[in-house]
Amino acid sequence: MRKLWLVAAVMLVLMPLASVFAAGTKEEAPAAPRQELVIAIGAQPEALDPIAMASAPAATVGEHLHQSLIYMAPDGTLEPSLAESWQAASDGLSWTLRLRQGVKFHDGTPFNAQAAKANLDRFLDPESKAPYRFLISEVSAVQVVDEYTIRLVLNRPFAPIISNLSHSFIGMLSPASLQSLAKGEATSNIVGTGPFKLVRWDRGEQIVLERNSEYWGRVPTIETLTFKFVPEDAARMVMLETGEAHAVMRVPPADAERLNANPGIDVVYASSVRVIYAGFNTQVKPFDNPKVRQAMNYAVDKEAIINTILAGVGYPSTAPVVPAVFGHTKVGPYEYNPAKARQLLAEAGYPNGFRAVFHHPTGRYLMDSTIAEAIQSMLREVGVQLELQTMEWSAYLSFLRKPPAEAQHQMYMLGWGTVTLDADYGIFSLLHSSQWPPTGWGVSYYKNDRVDRLLDSGRTTPERSAREGLYAEAIELIWEDAPWLYLHDEGQINAVRSNVEGLIHHPLENILAWDAYIE
């Protein structure tokens, strides 16, 4: 009887394994002739309704389903999408957009000026509580001029409006699908104009899309596109290796070489719109002295950080925004020169260095805590003793976002992605003196009147080349003043199965599959 128990127990454990053998091996063969693509991303979109979207995963998936009026190409150019052309009035107080004709939503209803107005009004409605409403908050009214023309009336001239309109979160949904919703209610029934349609959303697990055969543009080759949510980095890599996923994002730098050596996998390095920097609280000693701030910039070897910690992925910052951003001008990088750093510190009155506290997040940005440690050791060489402190992300945000009188930080690490690829978004929000907390995120409490005026003009001048000049001058001043320790422009490391072609690795940290196919 005892023996029987033992045998039964052992069999119970072995049986599932045996039938696995018998039934077959892996789930899906990676090189399936069927065009069914699986992409594994690290988090689930919180929502796909434009008025509730707030994160990169939401943008990645949303881009396939609904479209904005204007499309931001990977190289930063603004291309016609649902709007074919746009024109500012001479006073800059309104923009007229001609819309694309013959476009249908996934439910068959037509896209036209009424539909565009309905969506923009809904996005702007304060009761919708759209987190990214501020992108187009200068729009006071949306007018229907004719069936395929709308006019946006602005409170004051706002040149970045067109770049902002290209944001993934200002996608167009079918008004018919929105009719039964209450104000502020977000829909799960996403009916857009995009190259893919929503089939189902298994919460916490995956989103399944199918191709839109009536798409107004090039119909995708991929028939079924599945986004799986896998938060654990190692698990995502495993899925790629077994072929359960065809593409993954955010490959840890340490895994890049190993994956690339795998003949079935290609590692893709793409640029990103995110800059990583260490900001200074310019209202407190010793960071109130620009020489000290410049010294800090000279004391850190950004190349070394990129090569040893980030596996060579990324570039030392040449400006407060990445090169792809409109308005970027190359004023840097600050070369690694510890001797110059020491000299500047001495001139500033700190020949023996000083002590300070450096706050940084952990796990938010690629290798953030390791980078902080590297900075600490490099600065020690020039006599600056940094104490490192870290906290959980949400707590960190609250900790930083305080009015200058209550600020407790001296030096802090942050990243900022200029998702509209317009210098206004990258610089105004952080370095204009009107954006100090509680209003905004200017937690360096930087104030330069000339820069303020340049940034204000940059917003209101509609002409692109004139704007470029304004931002060029502003960036030069900001570089000199060094309210930040400019670190690096992040790069993206994604990985794709070798038999998959045509995926777009967008600097906005999306993977786009509408041109992809499986060989």
Partner 1 sequence: MVGYIVRRLLLTIPVVIGVSILIFAIIRLIPGDPAVAIAGVHASNEYIEQVRKDLYLDRSLPVQYGIFVRNLFRGELGVSTMSRRPVATELRERFPRTIELTLAAMLIASLVGISAGIISATRRYSLFDNLSMLVALFGVAAPVFWLALMLQLLFAVNLGWLPATGRGTWRHLILPALTLGMATAGLIARITRSSMLEVLRQDFITTARAKGLAEKVVVYKHALKNALIPVVTIMGLQFGILLGGAVLTETVFAWPGVGRLLVDSILARDYPVVQGAVMTLAVSFVLINLVVDLAYAFLDPRISYQSQESE
Interface residues with partner 1 (CB under 8 A) are 1-2, 5-6, 8-9, 12-13, 16-17, 20-21, 25-27, 43-44, 46-47, 49, 52, 54-55, 126, 129, 131-134, 137, 184-186, 188, 202-206, 228-232, 234-235, 238-239, 241-242, 244, 391-399, 401, 419, 429, 438-441
Measured between alpha carbons, how far is 162 from 404 in angstroms, rounded to an integer? Answer: 33
In the DSSP assignment, the letter for residue 247 is E
C-beta of 21 vs 465, nearer to partner 1: 21
What's the DSSP call for residue 405?
A: G
Least Cβ distance, residue 326 to partner 1 (angstroms): 18
Q: Give the nearest distance from C-beta 348 to partner 1 in angstroms.
A: 32
Query: What's the residue count for the chain?
Result: 519
Q: What does 82-146 look like in DSSP terms, one character per residue? A: SEEEEEE-TTSSEEEEEEPSS-B-TTSPBP-HHHHHHHHHHHH-GGG--TTGGGGTTEEEEEEEE
Shortest Å distance, C-beta 89 to partner 1: 26
CA angle centred on 476, ends 473 and 480, rounded to 5°:
145
Closest to partner 1 by CB, 1 or 405: 1
Quote the least distance from Cβ 418 to partner 1, whole Å. 10
* Alpha carbon distance 22, 30 (integer Å): 21
CA distances from 398 to 56, 252, 505 (A): 21, 28, 32
Nearer to partner 1, 283 or 429 (CB): 429
Among 106, 223, 229, 221, CA closest to 173: 106
Alpha-carbon distances, residue 326 vs 416, 423, 465 (angstroms): 15, 6, 10
Query: Of the two residues 216 and 277, which places its CB atom closer to partner 1 in the complex?
Result: 277
* C-alpha to C-alpha distance for 329 and 314, rounded to whole angstroms: 18
In the bound state with partner 1, the residue whose beta carbon lies nearer, of 185 and 463, is: 185
Nearer to partner 1, 393 or 466 (CB): 393
Minimum CB distance to partner 1, residue 483 (Å):
18
Q: Report the nearest approach of partner 1 to the CB of residue 62 (Å).
A: 14
Q: Which two tokens stand for residue 33?
A: 């002739």
Question: How far is it, in rounded angstroms, from Cα 485 to Cα 316?
Answer: 11
- Residue 226 pairs with which residues in a beta bridge? 38, 208
Residue 343 Cα distances to 16, 163, 298, angstroms: 71, 43, 10
User: In Å, what is the CA distance from 315 to each residue of 162, 277, 322, 413?
Assistant: 28, 12, 9, 17
- Nearest approach, Cβ of 429 to partner 1 (angstroms)? 8
At closest approach, how far in Å is the CB of 400 from partner 1?
A: 9
Neighbours of 204 (CB within 10 A): 7
- Measured over the CA atoms of residue 445, residue 447, residue 451 and residue 456, the dihedral's sign is positive
Q: How far is the CB of 156 from partner 1 (least distance, A)?
A: 16
Contact 431, 479 (CB under 8 A): no
Judged by beta carbon, residue 139 or residue 382, the one nearer partner 1 is 139
The angle at the Cα of 61, spanning 57 to 65, to the nearest 5 degrees, equals 150
In the complex with partner 1, the residue whose CB is nearer, 436 or 479, is 436
In terms of CB distance, is 149 or 499 closer to partner 1?
499
> Minimal distance in Å, beta carbon 128 to partner 1?
10
DSSP code of 426? I
12 vs 465 by CB, closer to partner 1? 12
DSSP tag of 425: I
Residue 279 vs 462, nearer CB to partner 1 = 279
Q: How far is the CB of 206 from partner 1 (least distance, A)?
A: 7
| Residue the block writes with tokens 């906290």 | 391
Nearer to partner 1, 41 or 120 (CB): 41
CB of residue 7 to partner 1, shortest distance in Å: 10
- Residue closer to partner 1 (CB basis): 250 or 401: 401
Q: Is 310 exposed, middle or buried (0-12, 13-18, 19+ CB in 10 A)?
A: buried
Report CA-CA distances (Å) from 82 to 66, 85, 92, 216. Answer: 10, 9, 22, 10
- Rounded-to-integer distance, Cα 247 and Cα 229, Å: 12
* Shortest distance, position 402 Cβ to partner 1, whole Å: 10
